[in-house]
Structure 1
Amino acid sequence: AVGVLLAAWGVPLLVSLASRSLPRLHNVGINLQVLATTVGAALLTGLLFGVVPALQSVRGISTVALKEGGAGVGTGTVHARAGGAFVIAQMALTLMLLVGAGLLGRSFVKLMTLEPGFDPEHALVAQVNLPAARYGTTAQKLALAQVVIERAGALPGVTAAAVSTGTPLAVGAFGTIRVPDQPAQSEAPWGSVTAATPDFFRALAIPLRRGRLFVPGDGGASRPVVVNEALVNTFFPGQDPIGRHVAFFGGRIGTIIGVVGNTRELSLSAEPPPVIYEPLVDDAQSFLKVIVRTAGDPAALAAPLRAALRTLDPELPIDALQPMRQMMAESVATQRFYATLVAIFAGLALLMAAAGLYALISYGVVRRTHELGVRIALGADAGRVLRLVVGRGAVLALLGIVLGAGGAIATTRVLKSFLFEITATDPVTFVGAALGLVVVALIASYLPARRATRVDPIVALRTE
């Protein structure tokens, strides 16, 4: 019942962390089928781990054992060995989960601390879809874009406002790029093309590396374009690209006037592709990306920006009005979800492994009460008894770690596609997970070992 209540609380929380693109996410929940399966598995587990030891105990009871008060060595040894095997298996599986959680967690941290090529802080982005009935011509689209920039730029705290057909992590268009005066390649490189107004780069704090940015009046017959460093490295390595020409889909040819830094276009984990920026007047689309930079909290500007856009056209569809930082978080939602899920399973496995080891060591202390009493009576100090008992737990933990490390090396390969700037056999993660498991195992062994050091030899000998 407690587990069902925890699941009813935890499942919606996990679903909220998942990416919206996760298949059939809306079907995830607790229903009768899930409850029946869970209850059945719990009952089967209880029967399996309850009946089997009971049968072993019945078979292992001998007449001698009964005469000796039930301290039969045979049955106790079988139980101890079986318990030890289960604890080793628990430790191995726990290490595998800890390694998986560590790899996904470290990869997620690297993604979130990555330099994306732009400054997401204080940036707010909205998408405005333009109905063809009212904004069917290029002139109508450009006129609206100009008014949007003026209204957005007049909002309190706004330091820059721009309109574009795409942003980092939400590219506007993608196609092949080539250089007219270079030999044609068998497979032309692909890149993104974004049309933007002059303040686009300032609104996103994309740095200028060479040349100049757009100014009012750019566009038209001259077709000036700004490119990123990835495009320069692809087509003009070691050359000055200013004044050179690039051709992109649609038969358009632009003249390079400036070079800006690389930005993550497709996702945070994908390498920056070649990017061409052109003036909005050369490629106005049926939607607008409105980008504003503010001196304060961008989330606080969401309502004023929406209201300002509504005053221009009350029926204007406004989608995805959110801070750029939120866009970054959503771009790694899948990685965050899997890391959280595996971490939860690893934590539960660690808890069960610690409980299993604690129970086994406690059982061993009870079985060996007479032996420990004799040792203490013969002069064994508390430290020696402590090492004897804790040593048993340490051996089981080390055996589990050896098996778990081998299993982790074999299974973490499936995580390669989810990892970023970290290998599936990252030694830091493996060592950290192993050390963490050793610490937990020592703590779980130490608690019953402390009780063993307090055994009264007289009482122990009498009970035997």
Structure 2
Amino acid sequence: HMHSALIVVEVALSMVLLAGALLMIQSFVKVQRLQFGFDVDRVMSGRLILPPYRYGDAARITQFTRELIPRLQAIPGVDAVGITNYLPLSGWSGGLRFSLEGQPPATETEQPTASFHVANEDYFRSMGIPLISGRTFTDRDTSDAPAVVVVDEALARRHWPGESPVGRRVLIGSSTGPLAHEIVGVVGDVQAHGLEEPVEGGMYLPVWQAPGPVLGITLRTALEPASLASQIGPAVWRIDPEQPVTYVLPMAELASESLAFRRAGMMLASSFGLLALMLAALGIYGVLSYSVTRRTREIGLRVALGATPGRIARLVVREGMLMTGIGIVIGLAAAAALTRFLASVLFDVTPGNPLTYAAVAGILLATALIATWRPARRATSVDPLVAIRTE
């Protein structure tokens, strides 16, 4: 009875761990099916932080950026060079407050906010971010030209639902007061902070109208992106030998790193679940093998009295499945209570999904059936004369 009780506990524990693992796997699969909103496969990235003692004003930053772009374009295999401030998935971000032209002025705390990005004319092409309407930036969008801005779909839906924002104007604060920017285009949404984070709604300003010390580099290539890694640094150092270059990584690697926590959790839960399943299977096999040995005389008598091999096998299988069934019932109750604590780390998956529990119960029953096969087969081969003589 003690052995059987231990098997019931093992099966119940397996039920809980496997249910948690299956929920984590479903969540990971659903996250992977989402789209980042940009091409992660053919883009190489890098980041520069220009020190203020060498690049203390907008003119110097602009001059450095204008010298950098053609040097990066000269790298063999580069199809487009993008410049931004904060690379998607890098963990860096910025925001700004704005107001809609024609609306009553609001206090600073009441003003709407948007994530803030700068971009050169080839940034959207380098990243594969689609243009929805209007246009993106051109080389004419300089500091001397009218102030323009590109918004993403999320911001357009929020403030101009059902209509195009192209041609409208937003007021963005500057050192001289709010400056009107004309919206010239709408681009697709980008999951800049990871697939699971909601899109905040963002604005892109031309890099020539809003230069800053943080420069994110995106190189689109038909080659393997990692093959460009060794050439980004030299292109920068020909302009400034003392300028560090960081985040020299394929965008696919940044995308993979954004899923690292969820991937690790899924693998850990799966490992514990499989270990518990294996221990439960070995336990069922061991208990039934011991039971067959202990009941050899009983089985021999049953055979002598006319019991068929099928009936003997069912006797053993029934014992194993009974332990498994009790363990599953207990495990179901425990899993329903404990998996609720996983809700905060699950994505688009309900902890109480009955199909998940049914699948785990099916796995446990199938495993138990396999574990009972050899003891049941051994029981059907008991020779009644030998069994009785042995006793």
Verify the 8 A CA contact 1:93 1:404 in the aligned structure 2.
yes
Matched, 1:350 2:277: yes
Matched, 1:127 2:51: no
Matched, 1:407 2:319: no
Of 135, 142, 147, 2:67 maps to: 147
RMSD value, Cα: 1.8
Secondary structure of 1:312 counterpart: coil
> % of aligned pairs identical?
40
Partner of 1:234: 158
Amino acid at match of 1:203: S
* Alpha-carbon distance in structure 1 between the residues aligned to 2:329 and 2:113: 46
Partner of 2:12: 92
Deviation at 1:282, TM superposition (A): 2.2
Matched, 1:312 2:239: yes
Distance 1:448 1:252, change over 3 A: farther
Verify the 8 A CA contact 2:35 2:195 in the aligned structure 1.
no
Deviation at 1:310, TM superposition (A): 2.5
Secondary structure of 2:218 counterpart: strand
Deviation at 1:309, TM superposition (A): 2.1
Distance 1:182 1:96, change over 3 A: farther
* Alpha-carbon distance in structure 1 between the residues aligned to 2:131 and 2:207: 19
Matched, 1:361 2:288: yes
Q: More displaced, 91-100 or 416-425?
A: 416-425
Verify the 8 A CA contact 1:401 1:434 in the aligned structure 2.
yes
Deviations 1:378-434 (A, max 9, x none): 222222211211121112112211211221111112111211121212333322222
* Structure with the bigger percentage of helix: 1
Distance 1:360 1:187, change over 3 A: farther
Amino acid at match of 1:230: A
* Alpha-carbon distance in structure 1 between the residues aligned to 2:201 and 2:98: 8
Distance 1:177 1:361, change over 3 A: farther
Deviation at 1:210, TM superposition (A): 0.6
Of 86, 105, 127, 2:25 maps to: 105
Amino acid at match of 1:145: T
Give 1:95-244 correspondences, 5 Å limit: 95-170=15-90, 171-182=92-103, 184=106, 188-220=111-143, 222-244=146-168
Amino acid at match of 2:288: I
Verify the 8 A CA contact 1:101 1:339 in the aligned structure 2.
yes
Verify the 8 A CA contact 2:86 2:214 in the aligned structure 1.
no
Of 223, 239, 243, 1:296 maps to: 223
Distance 1:105 1:386, change over 3 A: same
Of 357, 381, 384, 1:430 maps to: 357
Deviation at 1:143, TM superposition (A): 1.5
* Alpha-carbon distance in structure 2 between the residues aligned to 1:329 and 1:155: 26
Verify the 8 A CA contact 1:265 1:273 in the aligned structure 2.
no
* Alpha-carbon distance in structure 2 between the residues aligned to 1:249 and 1:84: 73
Verify the 8 A CA contact 1:88 1:397 in the aligned structure 2.
yes
Q: Which stretches of structure 1, 4 residues or more, deviate above 6 A after TM superposition?
A: none
Distance 1:446 1:266, change over 3 A: same
Q: More displaced, 285-294 or 188-197?
A: 188-197
* Alpha-carbon distance in structure 1 between the residues aligned to 2:17 and 2:155: 41
Deviations 1:237-269 (A, max 9, x none): 011211112244654542111011111022210
Of 309, 313, 318, 1:382 maps to: 309
Aligned length in residues:
384
Q: TM-score of the superposition, structure 2-length normalised?
A: 0.93
Verify the 8 A CA contact 2:78 2:219 in the aligned structure 1.
yes
* Alpha-carbon distance in structure 2 between the residues aligned to 1:95 and 1:150: 60
Secondary structure of 1:282 counterpart: coil
Deviation at 1:224, TM superposition (A): 0.8
Partner of 1:32: none
Verify the 8 A CA contact 2:82 2:127 in the aligned structure 1.
no
Distance 1:253 1:395, change over 3 A: farther
Q: More displaced, 310-319 or 293-302?
A: 310-319
Verify the 8 A CA contact 2:127 2:220 in the aligned structure 1.
yes
Distance 1:408 1:176, change over 3 A: farther
For structure 2, which runs of at least 5 residues remain unmatched after alignment?
none
Give 1:266-305 correspondences, 5 Å limit: 266-305=193-232
Verify the 8 A CA contact 1:128 1:317 in the aligned structure 2.
yes
Which of the pair has the greater relative contact order for Cα pairs under 8 Å at 6+ separation? Answer: 2
